[in-house]
Structure 1
Amino acid sequence: MKKVKIAILGFGNVGTGVWKILLENKKEIMKRSNYEIEVAKILIKDINKKRDIIVSKEILTDNIDDIINDESIKIVVELIGGCDDAKEYMIRVMKAKKHIVTANKLVIANWSDELFKIAEKEKVLFYYEASVAGGIPIIREINESLTANRIQQIIGIINGTTNYILSKMTNDGISFDEALKEAQEKGYAEADPTSDVDGYDAVYKLAIMASLSFGTKINHDAIYREGIRNISSLDIKYAKKFGYTIKLLAIAKEESNKLELRVHPTLVPTIHPMANVNDVFNSIMIKGNAVGELMLYGRGAGDLPTGSAVVGDIISILRNNVKPSDVSDASEQSNLKEIKKSEENESKFYIRLNINNKVGVLRDVAKVFAENNISIISVTEDVRHDDYAPLAFITHKSSEKNIKNSLEKIKWLENINKIESIIRIESFN
């Protein structure tokens, strides 16, 4: 049996998951790859740190040069996260003629064009399945299984932290702050949850999927983004009354060579499978012009699911089923596509107002909407107080521009105290 030496950069949650899988599934991996995989080096910050996993100190190092200068190491797995150091290490590793496997969505979303060009120049492989949706093989689906299709849209729950928080708010009736605290206690959310709850993590992942799916370079800064901090228990309640569940969706659609890219809280019909994706699970629905709709489901994060994707990439490199030049580089596509401005997008909307408890308020609101070619489908105002009341309603499909113009006028109406919530609705048509 042939042997191959690899190195792991970073030994946190995912790094230890990769280690466990390589040990526990050693026989299966050897059969499928025709190689015995030896972890020759692990790059860490503190060699003397106590760890739950027993690892020989001989393979631990705090110096990247010990890995780069070791010609016997053929594959390097980057799992340190972050930007600058991770990018620098990957470049140096490839220039040392070593293949790369990474789970770093931030680096891929920002510098994939540069990294793919270096990989091609150095004739090494660069795999990144674990950068999106953990254990769900979405990159491989797009690059291999769906290559005969023109992908028309991708809609997904691709952040486990926000899905856990919204699931707890929906199923247990707790507040956002309570659900976030619970997610942090269980290790699903960081002490600083900004990247997750404000939608940045989902934006980076959507940029990667959209680049591959639509054959064009995507600047993640051009993707419309909203997080879930402002979702209240009252919104959850009204969504249920209207027949919806609130999820943070990442949405990419192509029409007439223009792309619609957005990440935001969304009302999903309760009868749709996506509404029933709970806890930290992820789900991605892809629509191709030949295959129709496909839906992938699984754990989107965690040591073993993400580690599974990493080890899968290692095995793919060992099988060497593709040439380095086959690695997809969206930046070299000449067919650059325009990204629609958010005001051009169309959908139904859920809107909740705080109003004075007076007769005629709904009439005045409906009049403003009518002036902007917007009609209301459903209304509920069942929770009234002496002086004020929440007024929630659903509109017919409209452009964001018309909604924005309407609400700008509505907020100045006499009996409108505040516009509390504006959430888009996805119909999955």
Structure 2
Amino acid sequence: MVQSISVGLLGLGTVGSGVVKIIENHQDRLMHQVGCPVKIKKIVVKDVNKDRDVKIDASVLTTNVDDVINDPDIDVIIEVMGGVDETRSHILDALRNKKNIVTANKDLMALYGSELLTVAAQNGCDIFYEASVAGGIPILRSLVDGLASDRITKMMGIVNGTTNFILTKMNKFGSPYDEVLAEAQQLGYAEADPTADVEGLDAARKMAILATLGFSMNIDLEDVSVKGITDITEEDLQYSKQLGYTMKLVGLANRSGDRVEVSVQPTLLPESHPLSSVNDEYNAVYVYGEAVGETMFYGPGAGSLPTATAVVSDLVGVMKNMRLGINGNSFITPQYDKQLKAASEILSKYFLRIHVKDQVGAFAKITGLFTARDVSFEKILQLPLKESDLAEIVLVTHHASLQDYEQILQQLRDLDVIYEVKSSYRIEGESV
């Protein structure tokens, strides 16, 4: 039986500091969970002399990653340094040195998760990554363990706190995008370069991980259709509210039979939908199972201690496996071959806002394009534009295939009575 467990950390930033605090302050809880003490032996940092908000003995700090990877006494390595290619190399070396891994690195797992999990299994090691998606929400563990007997058909969620904070402020207070982004950066919710968040890339990486686990199918990042929030206007949000919807950046993974679609895009949700009330930096994932029905997981999607809680929970899982001698046995090869839906198989309602020449017969020409593809309207708003010979038309369609809808959009842009297609958004949360 293992008498004690030694841990090495790669990184001591926001999440790493939270991990150190939890391990130090919750020793009694960890002892109760796994029956032996947990010791942080080495932490890799860029600067050992930097002031930090966590007290740590200077002898524990090192700038040399080999001091952790090659230390025979270290059982588990917690990776919270970020990055992809260099970090991947370090983790592969660590796995080949028989080190169990806990990581919060969504970018790494979205791009190289299959490879790392395979190498871990080959070397009898665990690699756990609960904190890579939705911070402190135990969504991955719920998919792998809690819903293991069910067949997941759909996962829909808000998995990026930065964009949810921005959209909440824009929705509630009518604040312009640039102003709210600046506030998010000042509060630390958004990076100096917010591209990964606001263009949907961060959420896409998380949805690739969720879809891979939920559908037991290797979903790659390039399989995720992605659109960010940078083009959303105050007018879009006002019309959305008027029609009974709330705008969110939604990650969607949907399975019909053996075929799936995975996307991240600004989406209109009915105001009554549970995800519509998820505000500020909070995350939530709505999961549909054939047996369990509908469940929702909600909580803080980021932050030092929420994310660190998920990291240390994974550490507990690794330690329990160590005590039982079963490390490396948790990886299960995906059950299904990847089959992505064609555009003709993706069905949804759509919100469309267009500026039209205010002349007789204009609306008839527009409706003719939709009628030709058997797409009907659920809601219509038509308003004159002040000091202009244009009219603004807002349409909500009934369900249409993505293929038909994209072809209609192209034909609209070519139509002589159309001045401009202003915006278009998917609508979710209502039954087909």
Please report the TM-score for the alignment, with normalisation by the length of structure 1: 0.96
Runs of 4+ in 1 over 4 A off after TM superposition: none
Partner amino acid, structure 1, of 2:256: E
Shift of 1:45: 1.0
**Higher mean Cα deviation, 128-137 or 339-348?**
339-348
**Structure 1 segment 315-334 matched on structure 2, within 5 A:** 315-320=316-321, 323-329=326-332, 332-333=333-334
What SS does structure 1 have at the residue aligned with 2:192? coil
For residues 239 and 412 of structure 1, the distance between their equivalents in structure 2, rounded to whole angstroms, comes to: 26
Say if 1:373 and 1:402, in contact at 8 Å, map to a contact too: no
- Aligned partner of 1:129 in structure 2 is 130
For residues 6 and 427 of structure 1, the distance between their equivalents in structure 2, rounded to whole angstroms, comes to: 44
Shift of 1:383: 5.9
Say if 1:212 and 1:328, in contact at 8 Å, map to a contact too: no
Say if 1:116 and 1:327, in contact at 8 Å, map to a contact too: no
Equivalent of 1:416, from 415, 418, 424?
418
Partner amino acid, structure 2, of 1:155: M
- Aligned partner of 2:92 in structure 1 is 91
- Aligned partner of 1:244 in structure 2 is 245
Say if 2:124 and 2:329, in contact at 8 Å, map to a contact too: no
For residues 175 and 390 of structure 1, the distance between their equivalents in structure 2, rounded to whole angstroms, comes to: 21
Shift of the 333–3 alpha-carbon distance from structure 1 to 2, 3 Å rule, reads: closer
Where structure 2 has 5 or more consecutive residues not aligned to the other structure, the ranges are none
Where structure 1 has 5 or more consecutive residues not aligned to the other structure, the ranges are none
Say if 1:135 and 1:298, in contact at 8 Å, map to a contact too: yes
Partner amino acid, structure 2, of 1:133: A
Say if 2:273 and 2:429, in contact at 8 Å, map to a contact too: no
- Aligned partner of 2:368 in structure 1 is 367
**Higher mean Cα deviation, 316-325 or 371-380?**
316-325
- Aligned partner of 2:72 in structure 1 is 71
For residues 344 and 425 of structure 2, the distance between their equivalents in structure 1, rounded to whole angstroms, comes to: 14
**Higher mean Cα deviation, 349-358 or 75-84?**
349-358
For residues 316 and 397 of structure 1, the distance between their equivalents in structure 2, rounded to whole angstroms, comes to: 44
Say if 2:104 and 2:131, in contact at 8 Å, map to a contact too: yes
- Aligned partner of 1:224 in structure 2 is 225
Partner amino acid, structure 1, of 2:408: S
For residues 343 and 232 of structure 1, the distance between their equivalents in structure 2, rounded to whole angstroms, comes to: 29
Partner amino acid, structure 1, of 2:331: S
For residues 91 and 309 of structure 1, the distance between their equivalents in structure 2, rounded to whole angstroms, comes to: 22
Equivalent of 1:404, from 393, 402, 406?
406
For residues 389 and 91 of structure 1, the distance between their equivalents in structure 2, rounded to whole angstroms, comes to: 59
Deviations 1:57-96 (A, max 9, x none): 1111110111122211111000111111111111111111
What SS does structure 2 have at the residue aligned with 1:73? coil
What SS does structure 2 have at the residue aligned with 1:109? helix
Partner amino acid, structure 2, of 1:119: A
Say if 1:101 and 1:126, in contact at 8 Å, map to a contact too: yes
Say if 2:260 and 2:341, in contact at 8 Å, map to a contact too: yes
Shift of the 322–350 alpha-carbon distance from structure 1 to 2, 3 Å rule, reads: farther
Say if 1:224 and 1:342, in contact at 8 Å, map to a contact too: no
What SS does structure 1 have at the residue aligned with 2:414? coil
Say if 2:123 and 2:328, in contact at 8 Å, map to a contact too: no
Shift of 1:337: 2.7
What SS does structure 1 have at the residue aligned with 2:4? strand
For residues 268 and 176 of structure 1, the distance between their equivalents in structure 2, rounded to whole angstroms, comes to: 20
Shift of 1:179: 1.4
Shift of the 252–212 alpha-carbon distance from structure 1 to 2, 3 Å rule, reads: same
- Aligned partner of 1:150 in structure 2 is 151
- Aligned partner of 1:262 in structure 2 is 263
- Aligned partner of 1:282 in structure 2 is 283
Shift of 1:351: 0.4
Deviations 1:119-171 (A, max 9, x none): 11211111111111111101110111111101111111111111111111101
- Aligned partner of 1:190 in structure 2 is 191
Shift of 1:373: 1.4
Partner amino acid, structure 1, of 2:244: G
Shift of 1:334: 5.6
Is 1:380 the counterpart of 2:389? The answer is: no
The number of equivalent residue pairs is 427
For residues 165 and 290 of structure 1, the distance between their equivalents in structure 2, rounded to whole angstroms, comes to: 35
Partner amino acid, structure 2, of 1:399: S
Shift of 1:353: 0.8
Say if 2:203 and 2:251, in contact at 8 Å, map to a contact too: yes
Shift of 1:27: 2.2
Say if 2:346 and 2:401, in contact at 8 Å, map to a contact too: yes
- Aligned partner of 1:201 in structure 2 is 202
Partner amino acid, structure 1, of 2:403: K
